[in-house]
Structure 1
Amino acid sequence: MGVQSAMGRALVLLLGLALIGVWAQQSGPRPPFTIGVSNGFIGSEWRVQMLDDMRVVNEAYKQQGLTRDLVIQSANVDVAGQINQIRNLVLRRVNGIIINPNSQSGLNAAIRDAVRAGVRVVSVDQEVSAPEAINVTIDQKEWAKISMRWLAETLGGKGNIVIINGIAGHPANEARYEGVKEVLAQYPGIQVLNVSNADWDQAKGQEVMSRLIASYPNIDGVWSQDGMAEGALRALLAANLPRLPVMAGEARAGYLRLWAEAKRRYPDFKSFGVCNPPGVGASGLKVMVRLLQGKTLKAGVLQGPFKNTIYVPIPCQVSDATLGEALRQIQGKPDTYVLDGIITDEQADAYFR
């Protein structure tokens, strides 16, 4: 009787373990996955291209039976508004949320609540400090350092420059400006005459640059973030200056075409652009799908100040030497098009075990 009881208890235990194993396999979401997108800023064509890239990649996943239509919440909102976007997506019972964040830390509580509700969260384009989230972005600080180093070296380490930043307080803007300041610390011969914000808006970039030209007649160099450099260059050309300052610009079609025009008028004009790929949103989508499939990131993949970031490659740089090739790449594209890059499936797989 004792032996039978022991065997019975063992059988019950084995059955229980088997049920636990089945439950563990079934506890995660199963495809097709529903993925939400929270985009809190629509004042930039870059964001439009980002969302378009995400839709294209998601369409391929839909054909494989891996995802449904993206649930996109996109509007100009403050941090509180983006928190509401995230909460709304959780209520829509999405399996994952991809966020382009308006704040580095202001969304942390909403991200934590989403993850506790069983929703995976990936932040793209900019890093958030929430430990529950995984960031998928280029290294924004390094992005800025590349062009600032070029500007400093092209000026021979000395001269007067102006800086046109994006939205003050925005995570990407702050990371970029930190990179700029780190480079400038190595070049004491460069004097910064003025630092202004033009909110990643071409019209504001032109307005700010016009004001700077009027205030500072001795500008040797301009460092501008993307989304504003075309406006700044238009202001410089409209001023009919005897010479143009050296300019760190952008890898956007409109700027590249204006760069070529500027060189026809000013053959000695020098410029440079670093690609900031809108495809980072689609790269984040590729990472999200693999996370929802239950795949685990390799040790050492997560980097950055918060140790929760996958840095995807900066896909290209444009110099005077490569401007012709860049112009060929943008043939037939609108001026708002940005030279782009999305990680391949092989690159995405390489982040995981």
Structure 2
Amino acid sequence: MVALAALFALVLTGCGGGGDQTDGEPTAGDDTEDPGTTDGDAGEGGDAGPFTIGVSNGFTGSEWRTQMLANIEAAFEEYEEQGLVDELIIESADVDVDGQIQQIRNLVNAGVDAIIINPNSPDALNAAFDEAAEAGVRIYAIDQAVTAESVTNVVIDQNEWAKISARWLAEQVGEGGRVVGVNGIAGHPANEARWSGATEVLEEAGVEIVTQANANWSQSEGATVMADLLAQYGDDIDGVWAQDGVAEGVLRALVDADRLDLVTTGEARAGYMRLWQEHDVDTIGVVNPPGVGVTALRIAMRELQGGQLDESQLTDGNTILLPMPDSVTNAELEEWLAEVEDQPDGYSVDVMLSDDEVATYFQ
């Protein structure tokens, strides 16, 4: 674990802000790094704590979300050992927008100092965000960006994330190729940003998108949706653009139907990579790190203690675009499989910024 943590630091050092592609390959990390925060002395305009942190998660049907929450809990425990935090309050349930608004209000009423939220909408939560900000609560949106100026977005560029695998797919099927898309949850900010990016790349490359369907970021639904698409379009398509939590289900459906002649994109999860190796397919796994929640927690802790974000590092005034990790390809598959050997199938290759790396976003 120590070696892996050191390798993480080497990979991410020098990435800086602005979402630049990393040099080299991120490794799979299953533990959080030492928070490395101050000794408890507050900076100008800050507080010495201890602080109460809230988390709002409006969707639970995903191993990615489970890993995200576990990462935050582990990092919080390290801050707790330093006496910098006293309570972590997690509101996590399958809720609609109104339900997530109630989650936010519950956290504010509980007296949290900061909220880390994986939002269900890019703009429908804005009024609740503004209420929380007026109450003195700092808010950080992770995984999916929101439009509220009262929120700091701590995200990868989901649009660009999708373009990486779409470019790869376009190269495989060529101009005139025909593909279908298997997406996550319709209307979710990340889902919409991803499909927009993939569509842009595929259409510019002259690839025809026959249709798309949503599988709610569920492996089982991904398999069902792909089986239905094969029944309807199987003889008329060349490939599949599948994103994130549905990709393993899509690949399993192709295996079961003996249709590995179709090219599909994938994800950097242990189960997908194992299936990939087992059937010797040519695919790509794009890294979407659940560790973004820990990165947001480290940013929150610095701000609560008086740190000032460097505005030159922000996009659109309130968005921190994190470095985009390199993708898994066939050339490195063996190496990646060794890194996740002891992890369950649902484990996502993970990256989280250390406190020193978070400090590069501050004045």
Q: Alpha-carbon deviation of 1:176? A: 0.6
**Partner SS for 2:86:** coil
The alignment status of 1:202 with 2:219, answered yes or no, reads yes
**Partner SS for 1:34:** strand
Alignment correspondent of 1:327:
337
Q: Partner letter of residue 331 of structure 2?
A: A
- Counterpart Cα distance in 2 of 1:279 and 1:218: 39
Q: Partner letter of residue 140 of structure 1?
A: Q
The alignment status of 1:39 with 2:51, answered yes or no, reads no
Q: Alpha-carbon deviation of 1:25? A: 8.5
The alignment status of 1:126 with 2:144, answered yes or no, reads yes
Alignment correspondent of 1:213:
230
Deviations 1:40-83 (A, max 9, x none): 10011100000011111111111222112311110000110101
Pairwise mapping of residues 1-353 of structure 1 onto structure 2 (< 5 A)? 28-188=46-206, 190-216=207-233, 217-241=235-259, 243-263=260-280, 269-303=281-315, 306-353=316-363
Cα 1:56–1:200 change in 2 (3 A) is same
Q: Partner letter of residue 166 of structure 2?
A: M
Q: Alpha-carbon deviation of 1:349? A: 0.3
Deviations 1:4-46 (A, max 9, x none): xxxxxxxxxxxxxxxxxxxx98975431111100111001110
Alignment correspondent of 2:8:
none
- Counterpart Cα distance in 2 of 1:70 and 1:54: 9
Counterpart contact for 1:283–1:342, Cα < 8 Å: yes
- Counterpart Cα distance in 1 of 2:305 and 2:103: 24
Q: Partner letter of residue 342 of structure 2?
A: G
- Counterpart Cα distance in 2 of 1:293 and 1:28: 4
Task: Provide the aligned length of Structure 1 versus Structure 2.
Answer: 321
Q: Alpha-carbon deviation of 1:313? A: 1.6
Q: Partner letter of residue 145 of structure 1?
A: K
Counterpart contact for 1:29–1:95, Cα < 8 Å: no
- Counterpart Cα distance in 2 of 1:25 and 1:233: 51
Q: Alpha-carbon deviation of 1:191? A: 1.2
- Aligned-CA RMSD value: 1.5
Cα 1:352–1:207 change in 2 (3 A) is same
Counterpart contact for 1:97–1:121, Cα < 8 Å: yes
TM-score by length of 2: 0.86
Counterpart contact for 2:46–2:303, Cα < 8 Å: no
**Partner SS for 2:314:** coil
**Partner SS for 2:212:** strand
- Counterpart Cα distance in 2 of 1:174 and 1:238: 29
Cα 1:284–1:226 change in 2 (3 A) is same
Q: Partner letter of residue 285 of structure 2?
A: G
Deviations 1:78-114 (A, max 9, x none): 1101010110111111111111100100110111010
**Partner SS for 1:294:** coil
- Counterpart Cα distance in 1 of 2:311 and 2:111: 30
Question: What runs of 5+ residues in structure 1 fail to find an aligned partner?
Answer: 1-23, 264-268
User: Which has the higher relative contact order, 1 or 2, with Cα contacts under 8 A spaced 6 or more apart?
Assistant: 2
Q: Alpha-carbon deviation of 1:156? A: 2.9
Q: Alpha-carbon deviation of 1:332? A: 1.2
Question: What runs of 5+ residues in structure 2 fail to find an aligned partner?
Answer: 1-41
Q: Partner letter of residue 296 of structure 1?
A: Q
Counterpart contact for 1:315–1:340, Cα < 8 Å: no
Report the more deviating stretch, 219-228 or 27-36. Answer: 27-36
**Partner SS for 2:141:** strand
- Counterpart Cα distance in 1 of 2:153 and 2:289: 15
Counterpart contact for 1:204–1:228, Cα < 8 Å: yes
- Counterpart Cα distance in 2 of 1:240 and 1:340: 31
Report the more deviating stretch, 211-220 or 136-145. Answer: 211-220
